[in-house]
Structure 1
Amino acid sequence: MENRRDERRELKYPVIGKAGIYKFQKQYISGKSALIHVENFSLKGLRLSSSLDFPVMTGLILSIEFQLFGIENRILGSIVWQRKNKNEFTYGFEILSANMGYIQSIASLTKPVHKITKVAQ
C-alpha cells in the first residue's frame, strides 16, 4: 500500500507465534490461542497467516506473541483486513500496543517513509 507511513520488512521465513482474543467489546477474555505465522512487520502493523478464521470487526483486540531476533514480543491490536486462500487466512494487523523490545528491534530495521526535500543551511 502506498499510503503507509512506515516501511514494511518481509521475512524470508515466517516467524511462528500464537494469537488469542484479548478483549472483545470492552470485556477482557483469556483462553486458548491459535498458531500464527508472521510474514512481515513494521512499527504499526503486521501481516500474518493462520488456519483460524478471525473476524474483522470493531471491538475485537487480539494478543499476539512471537519471538523475533531472540526477543519475546507481545503485541495487542486488531485485524483490519482478511484474505482467504484455500484453508488458510491472511490478515492485516494494526498494532495498538507493543513491548519496548519489539519497538526497538523494528525501529532499527525500518525507517519512516518520509522524504527530506530541502536541507537548511
Structure 2
Amino acid sequence: MPLLKDVGAEISDYILHGRPTSGFRTIVHRVQTPCTPFATATPIILIARRTLRRATVTGTRSHHAQIFRHTFATITISSGVGMTELAQLLRHKDPDTTTIYAKLDIEGLRSLSRPWAGAVL
C-alpha cells in the first residue's frame, strides 16, 4: 500500500529505534517479552478502541480497528477503484466479501438503477 512520506518515515523510525529487537518481519508486535507478533487481532482491536475513545471520535458505528478498513474502502471506492482491486487491497480471499462495500458507493449504485416503470417523466 502506498504511504505518505511522513507516515513511512515514522514507521521506519519505529522499526529501527522504537521497538524491541525482534527476529520477526511484522511491524507491530508485543512490546513485553516475548516480543512476538500478536497471536490474534484482539490486541489491535483494543488498541484502536482505546485510541478512538481517547481522541473522542464520535458518530461512528464501530469503535475498533475495523473502522480503518471501512474508511479506506470508502475512500478507495469513491476515487474510482473497482471492487476487484479493492478485494485485492483488503486481501479478501473471497471477492464476494468485498461486496459489503458496494453499498458505500451510492452514486455508483444510482448509475445502475433503472427508472421506475410508473414514473412520470
TM-score range, shorter chain: under 0.3
What is the TM-score of this pair, normalised by structure 1? Answer: 0.26
Which is richer in strand? 1
Q: Which structure carries more relative contact order (alpha carbon 8 Å, separation 6+)?
A: 1
What is the TM-score of this pair, normalised by structure 2? Answer: 0.26
Which is richer in helix? 2
